[in-house]
Structure 1
Amino acid sequence: MNSVGVSSELLTELLNGNNVLHNLSVSGLVEKVLNRNEGILTSTGAVRATTGKYTGRSPKDKYIVEEASNKNKIDWGSVNTPISEESFDKLYKKVINHLKQQNEIFVFDGFAGADKKYQMPIKVINEYAWHNLFAHQLFIRPSAEELATHETEFTVISAPTFLADPKEDGTASETFIIISFERRTVLIGGTEYAGEMKKSIFSVMNYMLPEAGILPMHCSANVGQEGDVALFFGLSGTGKTTLSADPNRRLIGDDEHGWSNSGVFNIEGGCYAKCINLSYEKEPQIFDAIRFGSVLENVVIDPNTRVADYDDSSLTENTRAAYPIQAIDNIVDPSIAGHPNTIVFLTADAFGVLPPISKLTKEQAMYHFLSGYTSKLAGTERGITSPQATFSTCFGSPFLPLPATVYAEMLGKKIDEHDVQVFLVNTGWTGGEYGVGNRMKLAYTRAMVQAALEGELTNAETVKGEIFGLEIPVHVPGVPDEVLQPAKTWADQDAYNVKAKELAAKFRQNFKKFSNVPKEIEELGGPLV
C-alpha cells in the first residue's frame, strides 16, 4: 500500500476512536470550551481564548509537500517551501498517534465555497474544542441533509500541543503547517493560532480553483440595490473593511472569494475580523456580531465584568473575532452574486504620491494587482522609523501556491470578458508624505468610491498622471478638484517629484521578481529615474 493509502487507513482508525466527538452544536462546543478551561465567557456571550506564543501566522513554518503531481506547478521559494513526502508521512503518523491519546478530539464537517457547483467538502479535526468552534463559524456549515451525504475532499488536522523535532522531522522549528495535495490533507502542529486553519484552506483553494477556470481572490465583496457587484482588494490598514461595509450594499463576504463563469462566491461561511480599537461607533456591524457562539482571540477581558477591552494590545495588536456571516444583518445569503461591475484596489500610500482615485486599463489593473502595494508606517513595527513601501503579490502573496502571473492573467481575461471598471484608490497621504501631509479624509474616499460604484466615473473627464500614467478624474462629486491631483496638493513641487520618482523606482525594483510578464505591463511602473 502506498503512503496515501496508509494515511487514509490511519485517519479512518482515528475517526472511529471512542474519543471522537463529531459535529457538536455551537452550544455543545461552548460547553466543552468552558469545561476544559480552554477559554472564558465574555459579557456578550462570546468565548475568549488566548493563543500563547503564536498570536499570528507562522509563514516560515509553512510547507507544501513536493509531489509528482505538483513538482512543476508550484511557485517554489520562500513563500512555498517544499518538504519531502517522507517527512510529511512521519509527522502524520506522530500527530495521529498524539490525537489518539487525547481524552477528546473534535470533528467538524463542512464546506469551502458557497457556490455548490464548486464547493469543496472539508473535514476539520481538532485537539481543542475552541478551534473546532472556530472552524464551525468560519467555514460553511452543512444542513442535516448535506451532512448525511458529506464526502470529505480535504482534511485539516490541528494538534497544537504536538511539537515537531526539527532535526528528526525536517522542519525549521517545533511548529508546522503542511499541505499535501496528493494526500488531500493539511497538517498543523505547534501553534494555537486558529487563523492557520482558515488560511490553509484558502491556500488549497488558490491551488485548485484555477484548474477549474475560477479565479481565487483575497478581497471583500458586496452587492448594490441594483444587483451590481463590487470587489475590494487591499492590504492591512488600507480601509478594506471600512469601505466595503456600506449600509446601502449587502455583504457577500469580507475576505476570500472565487470568480467563476457564473459570477462571484464567498469561499467562507464566516468572518475573521481584526478587532484592535474596535468600537460600536466605528464598526457597529462587527461590534454587534460578537455574541454567543463567536470566538474572540487574544482580546483582553476585564476579569470582573467580563467586558472586552478592544483598545488593549498587551497580548497582541492582532486581536481577532470569528463569527458566522449570518451575524451580520445586511448580507447576501447564500453568499453568491453575479459578475463584478467594479473592482477597487486600495492602497495607503505614505509617500503622498498616488492619486486618491484613478481609472485603470486592463494592463494597469494587472500591473497593480501583481504589485499589491501599500505602506508600512513608522511605529507599526519595530525598527521602522520612516514609511516603508511593502508589496504583497495579488494582495495575498502568502497564500498563492501557483506563479503570480497565473492569477494576474485570469484577472485580465475576466476584466475583458465582463467589461469591468477598475479603480486604484489611495486612502493614504495627500499634500506631502507621512509626517508632512495629512491622511486623506474618509469622507472624500467614501465619495470617490461611491462615484466609482455608481458608474459616475465610467465616462468622466480625466487627465494622465505624470509618473504612473494613471487616468485621474478631473471632477468627483463631493470632493474638491484640487484634492484629486496629488502634485497640486504639495507646497514643494520639487519635493513631490523626488518622492514620486522614489516610489516609481520601488515599484520597478519589486516587479523584477516576475518573469514572463508582457513588456507593455512591465513598463507601467513609471519613468526611469
Structure 2
Amino acid sequence: MNPTNESASKMDKTILQNCQVNLSTEALVEIIEKRGEGTITANGAVSVTTGKYTGRSPKDKFIVNEGEAAEQVDWGSINKPMDKNSFIALYERVLEHLRAQDTLFRFTGWAGADTDYRLPIEVITEFAWHNLFARQLFIREDNETAGKHNAFTVISAPTFKANPKRDNTNSEAFIIISFEERIILIGGTEYAGEIKKAVFSVMNYLLPQQEVLPMHCSANTGASGDTALFFGLSGTGKTTLSANPDRRLIGDDEHGWSPNGIFNIEGGCYAKCVGLSEEKEPQIYHAIKHGAVLENVFCHNGMPDYSNTERTENTRAAYPLAHIDNSIFPSKGPHPKSIIFLTADAFGVLPPISKLTKEQAMYHFLSGYTSKLAGTERGITAPEATFSACFGSPFLPLAPAVYADMLGEKIDQYDADVYLINTGWIKGPFGIGERIPLVYTRAMVNTVLEQSLEGVDTVPDDYFGLHIPESIPGVPSQLLKPWESWESYSSYQVKAAQLAAKFHENFRTFTKVSEKIKNAGPVYQG
C-alpha cells in the first residue's frame, strides 16, 4: 500500500514480516484453538463470539471523500463522508497498533469468479479466526498474482478502539473505504461480516464502471443451463428457495452480471443459523463442518444449539462453497432466464406470485420491499414495512437508479422474465391470516424455473397493477388472488390501500427515475 498523502507510509516491513501468509485451514484452526480465540465443536467447526457487536454497524461506516469518489458516490445517511486527512491520521494509528502485535495474518485472493472482472484482495487481520473467515468467504488465489497488482487491502484491527472526537468517527467502531488508496480500514468491532460486506460495497462501486451489474442475490442453474436469480431481504426465503437439490448452486448472496453471464463474487457462504435444522435446510446443516466458522452460536457439550438466541438472533455460519455438494466451480453461469423477487408481505395483500413488466421490475427492484415482523418482539403486534433499494441499500455507493437502469437494460438484452413471489401472509394480515405454506411457494418457484407460465392467462391486481397467473400446478387457485382468500373484502381493501401508500411514500425518495418507472408502482394512489 502506498497512500498518496505524504504523511501516510507504506505498509511497512515490520507489519508484513509479522504476517503469516495464506495459512491452511488446518493451521488456522490449530492457532485459533491455541490462542483461545475459539473452540472446536463436535462437528469440527470453529465456534467464536464477537463481543458487543453481533451484527453490522451501518452508522459506523464511512467513505473517504476524495478523487473521483467525491463526485460519484451517492452521499447521504448510508454513504457518509470522511475527509482524507482524518482517514490518513486514523490509518497511521491503526498501523502503529498493528506494529505492536506479535503475529498478524494475511490472506490473498480474489473477489469475483469471472477472471475478466475479478478484484485482487488481501486481508490483514489481528485475529486468526478473521483470517479463516476471509479464507472461506473469498476466492482463494490460483497463482501468485493475487494481492500484488492493484489489490484492495482490508485491514481488520478489532482491538483498536477509535476516539470519536479525535478520529471523527461515530463510535469506537469504524468501517472506512478509501477508493483512491484502495484500502478498507476496520476497527473496534469483531463482527466478521463487516469484512465481507465492505468488499461487496467496493464491488458495487467498481463493477458498474465495467458495465457489470453487482447484485445482492442468490443464483443457481439447472441441467440445461437455465440460470435463475433470487433477490430478497432477510426472512423472505432467499437462501432456502435457492438451495435446490435438482439445481446447482452458483452462490447464495453476491453476484455480478457481466457480458459473459452470471458470476459469484464470493467463494463461500455466510448463512444465518437461527432455527437451523437438518430437516429444513440439510445443505446448510451439513456444510457446517471442519473449517466452517460459527459466530455467536451457543454450544452445549460441543454441540451447536441453533435454537438458542440469547447472544443474538443474528447467529451465522461461514463456510466455503465446496461444503455444498451441488455447487459449481468456477462459480459462474449463463445469462439468467428467470429473475425472482422475494417478499414476505405481512399485510397479506400482495399476490403469492405475479409476473412483472420491465418497468415494474425496475420499480420493485428500487423498492426492495418486505415486512419486518415486529410481532416477534414482546408487546408489538403490527408489522413494519421495510424498503431497501435494490435489495441491498447499505452496500450501494452509487445512486440506486444506476443499478436499476442496468437491470432494465439487461432484462431487455437477455430477455429475462421477472416475477414477484410473496412468501408472506395469505387469508389476512399477520396475526389473523397464515403464512403461505412452503410447499406452495416451492411449486410456484418450480413453475417459474420450468418456464411454463408462458401463455397462462393472468388477471390484474386493482391496487398494485400486478399480473396474476390464473393457475399454478399444485397451488389452490383461490389463493392466487389475495382478495378472494380474505373473509372480509373491505378489510382487504383497507390493508391494500395502506401498503400501496407506503410504496408511494418510499418511492418519493427516488428523484432520478423516469415517469414510466414511477407509474409502474401501485395503481392505488390514496
Name the TM-score, length of structure 2 as normaliser: 0.98
**1:71 Cα deviation (Å)?**
1.2
Classify 1:6/1:140 alpha carbon distance in 2 versus 1 (closer, same or farther; 3 Å): farther
Structure 2 letter corresponding to 1:246: N
Which residue does 1:345 correspond to in 2? Answer: 341
Alignment check: 8 A CA contact 2:22 2:106 kept: yes
Which residue does 1:437 correspond to in 2? Answer: 433
Give CA-to-partner distance per residue, 1:291-342, whole Å, 9 cap, x none.
111100000011xx21111111011100000000000000111101110000
**1:151 Cα deviation (Å)?**
3.0
Give CA-to-partner distance per residue, 1:75-113, whole Å, 9 cap, x none.
111100000101100010000110110010000000000
Give CA-to-partner distance per residue, 1:479-529, whole Å, 9 cap, x none.
111111111111100111111111000000000000121112112232211
**1:379 Cα deviation (Å)?**
3.3
Q: Does 1:509 align with 2:501?
A: no
Structure 2 letter corresponding to 1:62: K
In the aligned structure 2, how far is the partner of 1:5 from the partner of 1:86? 8
In the aligned structure 2, how far is the partner of 1:125 from the partner of 1:164? 18
Q: Does 1:458 align with 2:477?
A: no
Alignment check: 8 A CA contact 1:369 1:393 kept: yes
Which residue does 1:386 correspond to in 2? Answer: 382
**1:2 Cα deviation (Å)?**
9.0
In the aligned structure 2, how far is the partner of 1:100 from the partner of 1:349? 51
Name the TM-score, length of structure 1 as normaliser: 0.97
5 Å-filtered alignment, 1:356-505, equals 356-381=352-377, 384-505=380-501
5 Å-filtered alignment, 1:54-65, equals 54-65=53-64
Instruction: Provide the secondary structure at the position in 1 that maps to 2:4.
Output: helix
Q: 1:521 aligns with which of 509, 514, 517?
A: 517
Classify 1:148/1:431 alpha carbon distance in 2 versus 1 (closer, same or farther; 3 Å): closer
**1:9 Cα deviation (Å)?**
3.8
Q: 1:333 aligns with which of 325, 329, 332?
A: 329
Question: How many residues are aligned here?
Answer: 525
**1:416 Cα deviation (Å)?**
0.4
Give CA-to-partner distance per residue, 1:432-478, whole Å, 9 cap, x none.
11111111111111001100110111221111111111000001111
Instruction: Provide the secondary structure at the position in 2 that maps to 1:117.
Output: coil
Which residue does 2:198 correspond to in 1? Answer: 200
5 Å-filtered alignment, 1:12-411, equals 12-17=12-17, 19-143=18-142, 145-146=143-144, 150-302=148-300, 305-381=301-377, 384-411=380-407
Alignment check: 8 A CA contact 2:478 2:484 kept: yes
Structure 2 letter corresponding to 1:449: V
Instruction: Provide the secondary structure at the position in 2 that maps to 1:164.
Output: coil
In the aligned structure 2, how far is the partner of 1:7 from the partner of 1:40? 41
Alignment check: 8 A CA contact 1:48 1:298 kept: yes
Structure 1 letter corresponding to 2:327: I
**1:395 Cα deviation (Å)?**
0.2
Alignment check: 8 A CA contact 1:179 1:200 kept: yes
Instruction: Provide the secondary structure at the position in 2 that maps to 1:423.
Output: strand
Q: Which runs of 5+ in 2 are unaligned?
A: none
Structure 2 letter corresponding to 1:250: R
Classify 1:165/1:518 alpha carbon distance in 2 versus 1 (closer, same or farther; 3 Å): same
In the aligned structure 1, how far is the partner of 2:454 from the partner of 2:363? 20
Structure 2 letter corresponding to 1:525: P
**1:225 Cα deviation (Å)?**
1.1
Instruction: Provide the secondary structure at the position in 2 that maps to 1:273.
Output: strand
Instruction: Provide the secondary structure at the position in 2 that maps to 1:116.
Output: coil
In the aligned structure 1, how far is the partner of 2:513 from the partner of 2:341? 20
Instruction: Provide the secondary structure at the position in 2 that maps to 1:10.
Output: coil
In the aligned structure 1, how far is the partner of 2:280 from the partner of 2:145? 38
Classify 1:124/1:383 alpha carbon distance in 2 versus 1 (closer, same or farther; 3 Å): farther
In the aligned structure 1, how far is the partner of 2:218 from the partner of 2:7? 36
In the aligned structure 1, how far is the partner of 2:102 from the partner of 2:313? 34
**1:21 Cα deviation (Å)?**
0.9
Q: Does 1:4 align with 2:4?
A: yes
Structure 1 letter corresponding to 2:242: S
- The alignment-based identity, stated in percent, is 61
**1:55 Cα deviation (Å)?**
0.2
**1:261 Cα deviation (Å)?**
0.6
**1:10 Cα deviation (Å)?**
2.7
Classify 1:111/1:416 alpha carbon distance in 2 versus 1 (closer, same or farther; 3 Å): same
Instruction: Provide the secondary structure at the position in 2 that maps to 1:11.
Output: coil
**1:13 Cα deviation (Å)?**
3.1
Instruction: Provide the secondary structure at the position in 1 that maps to 2:220.
Output: strand
Classify 1:87/1:22 alpha carbon distance in 2 versus 1 (closer, same or farther; 3 Å): same
Alignment check: 8 A CA contact 1:452 1:458 kept: no
Give CA-to-partner distance per residue, 1:123-165, whole Å, 9 cap, x none.
000000000000000000112x345885351000000000011
Classify 1:16/1:241 alpha carbon distance in 2 versus 1 (closer, same or farther; 3 Å): closer
